[in-house]
Structure 1
Amino acid sequence: MVIIDSHESFARFLGQEIGISNWHKVTQEQINKFADATLDHQWIHCDAERAAIESPFKKTIAHGYLSLSLIPLLWKQITEVKNLKMEINYGIESLRFAQPVLVDSEIRLRVKLSNIVNLRGVTKVTIALTMEIKDEAKPAFTGETVFLYHFNN
């Protein structure tokens, strides 16, 4: 795990891979709970019997936004950001879904620091993301996320 405690400790990774998370298995229970939370119960996510017959994937698939919502969990397996007043999810840029995450697939996050800016004492970082699917050539998605870190002085 990478420890970050200041703008300078983040900046040393500019243009480099920061790390890779552990594998996380996406279960039907997790998909169903996400469907309940978002009120998105489309059959391709929640109806395993119908998916086995009608879906080209022959299984249910995770919501794309469920995959995105796992970024903080997986990011925190890669880094521990300390000495913080506050951390803010600022945005997602140039996101592309490349392949669905089938139920019971394992996913992990690979991250690289693509940009860092000091905004009058607030560290703005742009992290290039690839969510990999175990045993698949294509990732679930690629994109960039932007975080604002307010470090203690």
Structure 2
Amino acid sequence: MSAAAELLTFLAPQFGREIHVGEWLTIDQERIDRFAEVTGDRQWIHIDPERARRESPYGTTVAHGFLTLSLLPLLTQSNHPDHFQRNYPGMRLRVNYGLNRVRFPAPVLAGSRVRARTVLKDAEALGEAVQIRYEITVEIDGGERPGCVAEQLVRVYP
């Protein structure tokens, strides 16, 4: 049996199931400011706490949606050294292939805690590779709606 077929056999019982709930991470103003500096998105709603207190409908600064999105590897712990072998036995390389859909249903306010919940949607063989589809929901502690919902595609190769 090929490595791709073995991986599909390993993954199949998990299709449609939540496979991971990450640790809470506080999104503080320093992280927001650093992201603004790196990306050049220095809109006041992100980096000016005084003005945000006065003029924002949220009463405080908010994280960039793309900051929340960029934290998916950390929030899903997919960058942890043990993650690869535990989740992709028999494979040697993982590539982020892209996102099918991303939404930011609720703002992530400065000081909020967030965590990711991951559902393994499905997977398919692409030659020797396997493409895996995840739905990742970034919860906001105490929030009614998530800060981000993303459908991510990952390809792994033997």
TM-score by length of 2: 0.86
Once the two structures are superposed, the pairs formed by residues 72-151 of structure 1 within 5 Å of their partners are 72-76=73-77, 80-82=83-85, 83-151=90-158
In the TM superposition, residue 93 of structure 1 has moved relative to its aligned partner by: 1.5
Q: Residue 81 of structure 1 aligns to a residue in which SS?
A: helix
Residue 35 of structure 1 aligns to a residue whose secondary structure is helix
Indicate the percent of aligned positions where both proteins have the same amino acid.
35
**2:41 is matched with which residue?**
40
Of the structure 1 ranges 101-110 and 7-16, higher mean CA displacement relative to structure 2 is found in: 7-16
Report the structure, 1 or 2, having the larger helix content: 2
Q: Name the structure where strand makes up a greater proportion of residues.
A: 1
State the alpha-carbon separation in 1 of the partners of residues 134 and 73 from structure 2. 12
Q: Mean alpha-carbon deviation: is it higher for 114-123 or for 5-14?
A: 5-14
List structure 1 runs of 4+ shifted beyond 3 angstroms.
5-8
Alignment partners' CA distance in 2, 1:137 and 1:116: 30
RMSD: 1.8
Corresponding residue number in structure 1 for 2:12: 11
- 8 Å CA contact 2:133–2:152 kept in 1: the answer is yes
CA distance in 1, matches of 2:59, 2:93: 43
